Structure formats: C-alpha cells, structure tokens
Amino acid sequence: MVKVAEEWLNICGGCEVSILDLGEKLLDLLPSLEFVHMPVLMDHKYFGQIGEKSELEIPEADVGMISGGIRNEKERHVTEEMRKKCKTLIALGSCACYGGIPALANMYNVDDLLEKVYRDSITTESADNPSEDIPPLTDKVYAVDEVVDVDLYIPGCPINPVIILEALTCLLEGKPFELPERSVCDDCPTLRKEKSDVGLKRPLQDAEFTPGEYDTLRCFNEQGILCLGPVTKSGCGKQYDAEEQVVPRCVKGFMPCRGCFGPIRKDAKPLVDMMTALSSVGLDAKLIDDRRALFNRYIGAQNRLRPLPTRVRR
Ligand code: SF4
Ligand code: SF4
Ligand code: SF4
C-alpha cells in the first residue's frame, strides 16, 4: 500500500479538481493507495485534531503532491514539512512547478502590491494592511523547487488527469516518469505555410477555421493570433485512449496555446525564444506592449519575473 499526502498552497483548487477528475480510474488505483493527508478531502489538522500539538505535523507518506506556489511563511513551512515527510515529492500543476498565474505578482514588490490592493484600487475602500492572525507574505511567489527539492513535475493549469494517472502508475510500478522535451507545435495538426500575411491581431480576431476540422485550421501565429506553442512543453493533449490523435488541449478547442505547460526545458528562455518564433513567421513581437507578462504568464517564479528598476528621468 502506497501512502499519499497532498497539500495545496497558493492555488485556485483547479488541480485538486483534476485529481477528482480521474473519476473511476481513481477507484481502480485506490486498492493500492492510501491517502493519509489531503485538505481538499480530509479534515486533518496541522497541530493535532484539537490543536493539542505545538509543532505543525503532516503524516509520513511514500508520495507527496503539492499544488500551488509559495506566497507566505505558512506555505513555506508546510512545504518544508511535506519534504521531510514524503519520500517522493511531486510538484502538481503550473503554480507548483513555476509559480503559475499568481507569480505575475513577481513583477511588483510586496509594498506596491499591498498599496494597490488595500488603498489604490478604485473598487476598494482604503484600509490598513491586514496583520492579525495571518502569516506574513514572502518577498515574492516561489515555485516549490525554489524552497525544497522536487522529484517529479506535472505541469498544467489545470493538470490533465491522464498525466496524474500515468505518473502515479509509474510510481506504483517503480518506473521512471518524465514528459518528453518537445513543444506544443510538435503535436499540433494545424496547417503551416511558414509566413504570416497579416499583422498581429487581437485574440481570436477573425480566426479562420471550420469547427471540428483541425486540418483546415491555419497555425494561429501565422494568422497573427498569438500562440505560445513554439516555447511550451507538450503533453497536455494526452488521452486515456492512445489510439486517438493527441491534439494539444487548447488547439482542440480552436484556441491558441497560452503556455500553461511551461518551458520545454528547465533552462529555456521563453521570452527570447518566443520573440524569435514570432519573427520567423514575420511578426514583430516588439509591438506587444505587455510581452514580458504575456510570455511568462504561467512561469513567473524561478526568477523569470522581477520588478523592473525605476527609470531615472533626466
Ligand atoms: S495550476 Fe492552475 S488550476 Fe492548478 S492551482 Fe494553479 S491556477 Fe489553479
Ligand atoms: S504556433 Fe500554435 S497553432 Fe501554430 S503550430 Fe504551434 S501550437 Fe499550433
Ligand atoms: S495548449 Fe498550451 S495552454 Fe492549452 S493546455 Fe496545452 S500547454 Fe496548456
């Protein structure tokens, strides 16, 4: 019996829903798995069931799964405890792997964020920063592997349940698990004619396609519609039925890739690589004002997004 612990940190809960999305496949796994800690399903308290313990405690497990990045000191503490108690640790979802959407906040320092949220927003009544009974914020959003060692990465926003099943099955059978180092474009069935004959357009503006027919859909970038497929790791389209064509998830819905699977390789530079990919189809990425945020939308931790130094006017 393999013991599994799961924790959620700075998240929306979508990755936990993906675990439940395994549906009957999860029932097939249950005879071999024992969930010993999982806040989304189980009422296991950190300091004993009635608060009788003085130290945060998570049960020992063979496999630990963490969704979400780290935004406050409580999340850092929970992450360190998970690492201590779990033999194998999985970063589950783009937030855990690379900071995810919340790491867009890394473009600002904490004081500026608090000022914006509690005093400088037109929809908020001005107030002091909350300070009672809440853990202090960390200086930025961290991916899990910036705080502790991670053994296995399952990216996606949210994750594809098929990949969770594959990873858990590999762990149960003692086999290695890794997603291939290829791009979303490598699995994309759209038509490519090499050069764009239009300029950059707004998302899905005048998109040309016939519903249900991918082979009539022209590459989004060639249509002038920004697609992060060239710099994004593939795998999101995996199906239980291996016979089916593996079309990337967004392309399957006739939408461009937003980059949620993160970089193809750990040391890749998606901002630079995306500028090159766009210029290779004849588009000028410099015309995109917020390209720093757009090209790093899911991967702002691991020092990919930082506050820019204030320019001194002369
Ligand atoms: S990766 Fe996406 S779905 Fe998962 S917790 Fe983060 S925001 Fe939610
Ligand atoms: S850029 Fe997008 S639409 Fe074009 S081939 Fe790559 S994934 Fe497909
Ligand atoms: S196509 Fe891109 S954004 Fe969509 S699920 Fe796949 S990796 Fe994520």
In order, the DSSP letters of 71-118 are EEHHHHHHHHHHHHHEEEEEEESHHHHH-BGGGGGGGS-HHHHHHHHH
* Residue bearing the CA closest to ligand 1, atom 7: 12
Q: Calculate ∠ Cα 239-244-245, nearest 5°.
A: 100
Is the domain of 61 the same as that of 208?
no
pTM of the model: 0.93
Q: Are residues 13 and 145 in the same domain?
A: yes
Note whether 12 and 72 are same-domain residues: yes
State whether 17 and 103 are in the same domain: yes
Residue among 200, 251, 255 to mutate when testing ligand 2 (max atoms within 8 A of CB): 251
Instruction: Assign 302 a pLDDT band (cuts: 50, 70, 90).
Output: very high
Q: Which domain holds residue 60?
A: 2-109+138-173
Q: Is 138 helix (H, G, I), strand (E, B) or coil?
A: strand
Q: Is the CB of 260 under 6 A from ligand 3?
A: yes
Question: Is 21 domain-assigned?
Answer: yes
Above 70 in pLDDT, residue 170? yes
Q: How many CB atoms lie within 10 A of CB 64?
A: 30
Name residue, tokens 């707004």.
202
Model confidence band, residue 313 (pLDDT cutoffs 50, 70, 90): low
Residues 6-21 pLDDT 10s: 999 999 999 999 998 9
pLDDT of residue 42: 86
For strand 33-37 and strand 2-8, is the pairing parallel, antiparallel, or unpaired?
A: parallel
Q: Cβ(165) to ligand 3 under 6 A?
A: no
Alpha helices (H) along 2-64: 14-20, 24-29
Same-domain status, 71 and 192: no
CATH number of domain containing 91: 3.40.50.700
- Whether 243 maps to a domain, the answer reads yes
- What would the 3-class secondary structure string for 187-225 be? HCCCECCCCCCCCCCCCCCCCCCECCEHHHCECCCCCCC
DSSP 249: H
Residue 67 domain-assigned (yes or no): yes
In a domain, 101, yes or no: yes
Residue 236 CB less than 6 A away from ligand 3: yes
Q: Is residue 89 very low, low, confident or very high in pLDDT (cuts 50, 70, 90)? A: very high
Q: Are residues 99 and 209 in the same domain?
A: no
Q: What is the pLDDT of residue 165?
A: 93
Work out the percent of the chain whose per-residue pLDDT is above 90.
71
Phi, psi of 8 (to 5 degrees): -120, 135
Q: Would 276 be classed as within a structural domain?
A: yes
For the cut 80, the answer to whether the pLDDT of residue 28 exceeds it is yes
Residue 289 forms part of a structural domain: no
Do 95 and 51 lie in one domain? The reply is yes
Q: State percent of the chain over pLDDT 70.
A: 97
Same domain for 23 and 158, yes or no, is yes
- What confidence score (pLDDT) does residue 241 get? 73
Residues 22 and 144 in one domain: yes
Domain co-membership, 15 together with 36 = yes
Amino acid letter, residue 92: L
In a domain, 35, yes or no: yes
Give the ligand 2 atom nearest the CA of 256: 2
The residue-averaged pLDDT of 243-272 equals 89
Whether 204 maps to a domain, the answer reads: yes
Q: Are residues 88 and 218 in the same domain?
A: no
Claim to verify: residue 186 and residue 66 sit in the same structural domain: no
Q: How far is the CA of 18 from the centre of ligand 1 (A)?
A: 10
**Residues in contact with 200: Cβ distance below 8 Å, sequence separation at least 6, in sequence order:** 224, 226, 283, 284, 287, 288
> What is the total count of domains within the chain?
2
- Of the three residues 124, 149, 173, the one that is the final residue of a domain is 173
